[in-house]
């Protein structure tokens, strides 16, 4: 069959027949038998080759066309292919997969002109497909991360109270570990934006391991609980502020600061209010009274001394009088003894 | 289809072309790559910058005899033709 005869078999409009010479190669590749079979099969499917550019569809074998139509019937997407037979040259199985994906993800794949272009291009569809995947990964990851970081504060709540004073506890390792952990929460939020370009690498990061590494902190710090309770008194509101700043909002919630920072009753000193109505005049008069009293006390002492002295004088005088009496007596006795009997003319008997 | 890479077709474009074209036509292009190359060279020589797009859409045209192929495009002022082809490659059908 000559090419013109083949062309006449297609019943193309006159305008299209004029253009058709550019596509004679397609007609040349198709045998007469294949041309007849394909034309009849396509007519049975409601397809008419009405444009010169659609002639190439006839280069497909009848089996290929039948396979493609069976898929299209299965998904109920024959209309657009019937209206635009050129699309039958595409790999319908790939289109079927893309349409299914779009249906699952509620992506619109049709517009006024028929199918959207991305259905026929693997590259364009890959771009869309990958972006959808990234979004899925983000949606899945975010809750996992937040769950893990909700648990972290529970781990950190108990430790801040250590054997040492609270100031030391805040200043030392515990806070440093807290500082190292909190950026991870921020990292997480910052990472989430960058993941669109390289999502898989960040998916692999196992945040669970980080939590496991932190677990020893709880073991070390659970031991001194009893001692800690005794030292609660030493926590000051300033420490509380520092601790809150270091831990952030995420780590604080389980801490009952009200119980920790209560001021102990022992420490509270009930000082009776000193006379609030104090006059300086009162002080002056009191001082004068004190001075007078001091003056009086000295005079009494002097009097006592004087009295004592006068008494001693009297006693001494008495003693002296006694001594003089004794003296006079002794002198009389001595004078009487000095008179010896011999001197009196009287001798003693031998 | 490595010969298409010489004309700066991307591997993805070639893969798409092979996946979405009738086997008979692909084989014909492979068998007649010299003719196809001549026709591509002509368009490239005219200054048509989007000749890759034209080939991927109307690859069966490039199996035409080279003289017939040249006749289609030589009827027009090259600058005007290039401008219009850049705007819409579908005018190829109406040339």
DSSP A47: -
What is the least distance, in Å, from the CA of B20 to any CA of chain A? 4
**Using alpha carbons only, what angle is made at residue A266 by residues A263 and A272, rounded to the nearest 5 degrees?**
100
For residue B80, pLDDT over 70 is answered with yes
What is the least distance, in Å, from the CA of B31 to any CA of chain A? 12
Out of B20, B22, B64, closest to residue A22 by CB: B64
Out of A22, A91, A120, closest to residue B61 by CB: A22
Which of B20, B53, B72 is the mutation pick for testing A, counting most A CBs within 10 A? B20
B82 at the A interface (CB within 8 A)?
no
Out of B22, B25, B93, closest to residue A52 by CB: B93
Residue of B nearest to A123 (CA): B12
The residues of chain A scoring below 50 in pLDDT are 134-238, 242-243, 246-253, 255, 260, 275, 339-350
Residue of A nearest to B69 (CA): A22
Phi, psi angles (nearest 5°) of residue A153: -55, -35
DSSP A58: G
B72 with A25: Cβ contact below 8 A: no
B22 with A59: Cβ contact below 8 A: yes
Q: What is the CA radius of gyration of chain B?
A: 13
**Which residue blocks in chain A are alpha helix, DSSP H?**
3-9, 14-19, 24-29, 32-44, 62-75, 79-83, 92-104, 122-157, 166-171, 173-194, 199-203, 207-222, 225-230, 237-251, 257-260, 280-338
Residue B58 pLDDT class (50, 70, 90 cuts): very high
Q: What DSSP line would sit under A187-256, residue for residue?
A: HHHHHHHHTTTSHHHHHS--HHHHHHHHHHHHHHHHTTHHHHHHGGGG--HHHHHHHHHHHHHHHSTT--
Q: What DSSP line would sit under chain B, residue for residue?
A: -HHHHTTT--HHHHHHHHHTS-HHHHHHHHHTHHHHHHHHHHHHHHT-TTHHHHHHHSGGGGGS-HHHHHHHHHTS-HHHHHHHHHH-GGGGGG-
Query: Which structure tokens are listed for A170?
Result: 């805040």
pLDDT given at position B32:
93
pLDDT digits (tens, 9 = 90+) for A6-34: 888 888 888 888 888 889 999 899 998 99
Out of A59, A64, A89, closest to residue B20 by CB: A89
């Amino acid at each position: 069959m000559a090419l013109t005869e083949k062309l006449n078999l297609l019943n193309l409009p006159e305008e299209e027949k004029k253009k058709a010479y550019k596509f004679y190669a397609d007609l040349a590749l198709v045998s007469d038998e294949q041309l007849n079979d394909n034309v009849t099969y396509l007519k049975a499917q409601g397809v008419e080759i009405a444009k010169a550019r659609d002639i190439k569809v006839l280069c497909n074998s009848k089996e290929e066309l039948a396979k493609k139509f069976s898929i299209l019937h299965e998904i109920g997407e024959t209309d657009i292919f019937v209206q635009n037979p050129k699309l039958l040259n595409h790999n319908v199985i790939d289109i079927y997969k893309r349409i299914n994906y779009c249906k699952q993800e509620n992506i619109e794949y049709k517009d006024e002109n028929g199918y959207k272009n991305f259905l026929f291009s693997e590259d364009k569809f890959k771009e869309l497909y990958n972006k959808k995947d990234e979004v899925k990964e983000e949606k899945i990851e975010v809750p996992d991360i937040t769950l893990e970081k909700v648990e972290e504060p529970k781990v950190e709540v108990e430790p801040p109270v250590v054997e040492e004073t609270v100031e030391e506890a805040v200043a030392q390792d515990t806070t440093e570990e807290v500082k190292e952990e909190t950026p991870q929460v921020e990292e997480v939020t910052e990472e989430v934006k960058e993941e669109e370009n390289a999502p898989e690498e960040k998916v692999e990061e196992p945040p669970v391991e980080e939590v496991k590494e932190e677990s020893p902190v709880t073991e070390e710090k659970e031991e001194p609980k009893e001692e800690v309770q005794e030292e609660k008194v030493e926590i000051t509101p300033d420490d509380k502020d520092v601790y809150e700043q270091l831990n952030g909002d995420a780590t604080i919630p389980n801490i009952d600061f009200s119980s920790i920072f209560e001021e102990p009753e022992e420490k509270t000193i009930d000082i009776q209010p000193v006379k609030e109505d104090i006059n300086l005049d009162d002080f002056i008069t009191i001082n004068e009274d004190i001075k007078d009293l001091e003056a009086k006390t000295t005079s009494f002492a002097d009097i006592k001394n004087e009295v004592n002295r006068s008494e001693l004088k009297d006693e001494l005088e008495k003693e002296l009088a006694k001594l003089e009496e004794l003296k006079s007596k002794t002198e009389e006795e001595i004078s009487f003894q000095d008179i010896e009997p011999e001197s009196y003319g009287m001798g003693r008997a031998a | 289809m490595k010969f298409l890479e010489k004309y700066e077709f991307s591997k993805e474009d070639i893969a798409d072309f092979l996946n979405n074209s009738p086997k008979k036509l692909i084989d014909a292009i492979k068998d007649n790559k010299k003719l196809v190359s001549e026709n591509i060279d002509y368009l490239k020589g005219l200054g048509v910058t989007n000749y890759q797009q034209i080939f991927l859409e109307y690859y069966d045209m490039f199996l035409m005899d080279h003289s017939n192929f040249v006749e289609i495009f030589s009827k027009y002022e090259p600058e005007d033709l290039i401008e219009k082809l850049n705007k819409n490659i579908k005018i190829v059908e109406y040339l």
